[in-house]
Amino acid sequence: MVAPSLLHDVRDAGYPVSERTVSRVLQQWGLRSLRLHSKAARKFKHNIDTDIHHHIAPNTLDRQFNPDKPNTTWVTDITYIKTGEGGLYLSVIIDYNRIRRHSANGWISPEQYE
């Protein structure tokens, strides 16, 4: 069974797929979709230092989300993905522009990092 939010995200990305198709692709890739129940969600704890401000980058974008040309505004994010064999970090670099909004330009996997 595929989590409804995952199916919704895939369809929003422009892929007219069924739940069965998404489930089959996940199975081929060795992945599975999890639903977070309230008990599982409570297990997550934030690691907040007393001085959190040294982790925050300056706001150079200043909420100007409409650059006129590509390659002028880049954003990035990093997330931790828990797998059956441990975990890995995924960091995506995105060129944020009017022409192709949210187009991912690159990522790094553990194999590339080592």
**DSSP string for residues in 40-75:** HHHH------S-GGGGSPP--STT----SSTTS-EE
The pTM score is 0.39
Q: Are residues 35 and 50 in the same domain?
A: no
Distance of CA 98 to the CA centre of its chain: 20
Q: Are residues 36 and 50 in the same domain?
A: no
User: Which residue range is the domain that position 10 belongs to?
Assistant: 1-43
Spans of the chain below 70 pLDDT: 1, 33-56, 98-114
Q: Which two tokens stand for residue 53?
A: 């401000």
What does the pLDDT read at residue 42?
A: 55
What does the pLDDT read at residue 66?
A: 74
Distances (CA, A) of 56 to 7, 42, 49, 51, 52: 32, 25, 12, 10, 7
Number of domains comprising the chain: 2
